[in-house]
Amino acid sequence: MNRLQISYFEASARKRVNALVDADSFTEYCPPELRKTSPHLALLDSPLALDDGVIVGQAKLAGHSVLVIAQEGRFYGGSVGEVHGAKICGLLEKALAKKPAAVLLLADSGGVRLHEANAGLIALSEIVRSLLQVQAAGIPVLALVGGSCGAFGGMGIVTRICNELVMSEQGRLGLSGPEVIETVKGVDEFDSRDRALVWRITGGKLRRALGEATVLVDDLIPAFRTAAIQLVERYKTQTLVADDLAVLLAAQSNLVNRRTRFEGARDGREIWQDMFTDSARVPDMTVEEFNQQMSVLL
Amino acid sequence: MIDLKLYDRLFGVGCHQLKFNGLFLQGTADIDGRDMAVIGTRDHAAIDGTIALQISAAILQVVSEDTVSGKSPRPIIFIADTQGQALSRHEELLGLNGYFAHVVRCVDLARRHNHRLLTIISGEAVSGGFLAYGMMSDCICALPDAQVRVMDLRAMSRVTKISLERLEDLAKASPVFAPGAENFWRMGGIHEIWTEQDNWPQRLIDALDKATNSDARAAIGLERGGRHMAAPIKSLVVNS
């Protein structure tokens, strides 16, 4: 199979990591051989994974030292339980000592693992605090989102705290998943089976248009790799400082403005109409064309 | 009329000045001459983008005021009462997760500016709304009637396809998935549970004095026997 054709969406977490970083450069921490599985899933007689659905370790990316976190969306939707969360938290703490060029977070998760919900929620809050410390230490954290579970729940928040967010069009990002909203609020509020609608609300193009995703790439692992390399090299040349009051006040007014500008909007189409002259074509645009139009708009 | 009983009990009658705007509240309190800022939600608020921005604006205002005045940074008391995030297509379209991330960043700014951060859970603390600000502070305290959860067992049973009876049975032995402040306490996710008999202003002052800006929750969870894996797995990865 041609390495250039590998879909990021279709690949497993392990395949993503191996194809993303420099060949044979990945060393896993807390690998499957150690059998650190979830005691809580075991108690419920539920299936286990030897890596508890997340891979953490070190690697080289275009020769630069990086630490990597990759969630496996096929294992309980990449959800965060006690062991899974502790591996991510540990990796972030490791970054404080090791000072890599960047931490790459390959998020693919619906958020808290309900089978161990309390542990998962606490773990997510610990991940957030560790992540902020890593950034305050001047180490950029780059999120990559293009898997089948996207990044939702607590992982949706974590992803938006990262310094950069690389997404594919197939990637999805949000807080509450469409199914949850439909279950609680009804199908009129959100029809989770309307795939086109789901993508217009949560998908990569929408997130890029709103400026949340900082890079939109094709659904190919090499495309994610190229974007990650460019970002790591950009951060090599600039000093990362923690957000100060002025930065956060500016962010505040941006978020206020978005609510005013798109007051009452309930469909990505309304965002396209506001931004693009040829808004009807947005869903059909190639990533290249979309990015080209965005570069004019921004 | 907003019932002020809770705030009277927390800070003392006449010791707080709070402004209420919808389900959001903001103001100051003074316990024995110690000034503190108060930010919170009430009546089980569903946190939407508007409330998230009210919380973040209030935090930024406190940081800014104390920077300008040159006074030592006041503690910030978060009063968390939330049923979780608002469930809405509009909010999702605008990226509610990003609004929550902004709140988290503002809390972090306050911490880096040496504001001591304390959360008091009154009413409910649920999932995403709790994660966004209540869980980010240095010390998390629950009032006696506090309901803390990710999801109720019935909904959990639907999603996990494990029978409700089985979940209820397992919940007796394990703090890991069942709702309850006590369960979160055992896992280190809540530092203190106050009782009805306690002198709350005194407990609040004591908690502020004890709190530090480092996150020791994994170690606390291990010590209390509610979370055995988190601390050792973290160490295992850090020392790899």
Cα–Cα dist B227/A40, whole Å: 11
Look at residue B80 and tell me if it is in a domain: yes
Q: Do A265 and B90 touch (CB under 8 A)?
A: yes
User: What is the Cα–Cα distance from B121 to B193, expressed in whole angstroms?
Assistant: 9
Q: Do B87 and A184 touch (CB under 8 A)?
A: yes
- Those residues with Cβ within 8 angstroms of residue B121's Cβ, 6 or more apart along the chain or in another chain: B80, B81, B130, B134, B140, B141, B142, B143, B146, B148, B181, B190
Pick from A56, A173, A258: CB nearest B237 = A56
Q: Is residue B220 part of a domain?
A: no
Contact assessment for residue A194 and residue A179, using Cβ atoms and an 8 Å cutoff: no
Instruction: Choose, out of B107, B149, B187, B238, the residue to mutate when testing the contact with A (most A CBs < 10 Å).
Output: B238
Residue A132 at interface with chain B, using a CB cutoff of 8 Å: yes
Q: Is residue B219 part of a domain?
A: no
Residue environment code for A221-260, b if the CB has 16+ CB neighbours within 10 A, otherwise e: bbbbbbbbbebbeebeeeeeeebeeeebbebbeebeebbe
What residues 206-235 of chain A have any CB closer than 8 A to a CB of chain B?
Answer: 206-207, 210, 212
Whole-number pLDDT of residue B172: 85
**Over residues A66-85, mean pLDDT:** 98
* CB spacing of B128 vs A244 below 8 angstroms: no
Two structure tokens written together for B94: 């605008």
Helix (H) / strand (E) element for B57: namely: helix B49-69
Answer yes or no: is B161 within a domain. Answer: yes
- In angstroms, rounded to a whole number, what is the distance separating the alpha carbons of residues B23 and B42? 5
The structural domain count of chain B equals 1
What distance in Å separates residue B138's CA from the closest CA in chain A?
Answer: 11
Q: pLDDT digits over A188-216, tens only?
A: 999 999 999 999 999 999 999 999 999 99
User: 3-class SS at B49?
Assistant: helix
Mutate to test the interface with A, among B103, B176, B183 (most CBs of A within 10 A): B176
Q: Is B60 part of any domain?
A: yes
By percentage, how much of chain B surpasses pLDDT 90? 84
DSSP string, A32-57: GGG----HHHHHTT----TTTTEEEE
DSSP summary character for residue B113: T
Query: Tell me, what amino acid is at A295?
Result: S
Q: Residue B160 — pLDDT band, cuts 50, 70, 90? A: confident
Q: Which of the two residues, A184 and A68, has the higher pLDDT score?
A: A68
What's the pLDDT at A4?
61
Summarize pLDDT for B225-238 with one digit per residue, the tens.
999 999 999 999 99
Mean pLDDT of A213-237: 97
- pLDDT value at position B153? 83
Local structure of B126: helix, strand or coil: strand
Scanning A100-119 for CB atoms below 8 A from B yields 112, 114-119
Residue B76 is given by DSSP the state E
CA nearest to A213, candidates A153, A152, A162, A267: A162
- pLDDT tens by residue, B33-63: 999 999 999 999 999 999 999 999 999 999 9
Which chain B residue shows the shortest CA-CA distance from A165?
B98
Residue B192 clears pLDDT 60, i.e. is over it:
yes
Q: Which of B108, B151, B238 minimises the CB distance to A117? A: B151
Q: Tell whether B231 is within 8 A of chain A (Cβ).
A: yes
Distance in Å, alpha carbon of B30 to nearest chain A alpha carbon: 25
Partner residue facing A259 (CB), from B49, B132, B183: B49
The beta-carbon neighbor of A116 closest among B136, B176, B238 is B176
Distance in Å, alpha carbon of B84 to nearest chain A alpha carbon: 10
Question: How does pLDDT run across A98-139, given as a tens digit for each residue?
Answer: 999 999 999 999 999 999 999 999 999 999 999 999 999 999
The verdict on B156 touching A (C-beta cutoff 8 Å) is yes
Asked whether the beta carbons of residue B177 and residue A267 sit closer than 8 angstroms, the reply is: no
Residue B159: pLDDT over 80: no
Cα of A124 vs its chain's centroid, Å? 14
CATH number of the domain to which B206 belongs: 3.90.226.10
Please indicate if any CB of chain B lies within 8 Å of the CB of A254.
Answer: no
Q: Is B195 exposed, middle or buried (0-12, 13-18, 19+ CB in 10 A)?
A: exposed
CB atoms near residue B226 (< 10 Å) = 23
Mean pLDDT over each residue of chain A, to the nearest integer:
95
Locate all alpha helices (DSSP H) within chain A, ordered by sequence.
13-20, 39-43, 82-98, 117-136, 154-161, 178-185, 195-202, 204-209, 221-236, 245-261, 268-275, 287-297
Q: How many CA atoms lie within 13 A of A131 on its CB side?
A: 30
Nearest Cα to Cα of residue B234 among A30, A109, A108, A128: A30
3-state secondary structure of B134: helix
- The model carries a pTM of 0.97
How would residue A3 be classed by pLDDT, with cut points 50, 70 and 90?
low
DSSP annotation string for A161-204:
HSSEEEEETT-BB-SS-HHHHHHHH-TTT--TT-HHHHHHHHBH
- What are the chain B neighbours of A122 within 8 Å (beta carbons)? 135, 184, 187-189, 217, 221, 227, 230
**B239 part of a folded domain:** no
Boundaries of domain holding B203: 5-214
Q: Does B42 map to a domain?
A: yes
pLDDT interval class at A1 (50, 70, 90): very low
| Mean of the per-residue pLDDT values of chain B | 95
CATH 3.40.50.300 fits A3-173+213-240, yes or no: no
Q: What is the ipTM of this complex?
A: 0.97
pLDDT (average), residues B107-114: 97
Alpha carbon B219 to chain centroid, angstroms = 19
By the CB < 8 Å criterion, does B1 face chain A? no
Task: Enumerate the H helices of B174-229 as residue ranges.
Answer: 181-186, 200-210, 217-223
Q: Which of A131, A150, A149 is nearest to A140 (CA)?
A: A131
Residues B92/B49, Cβ–Cβ less than 8 Å: no
What value does the CA radius of gyration of chain A take, rounded to a whole number of Å?
A: 19
A19 interfaces chain B, CB cutoff of 8 Å: no
Res. B154: pLDDT tops 90: no
Q: Do the chains contact at B112 and A136, CB–CB below 8 Å?
A: yes
| A121 interfaces chain B, CB cutoff of 8 Å | yes
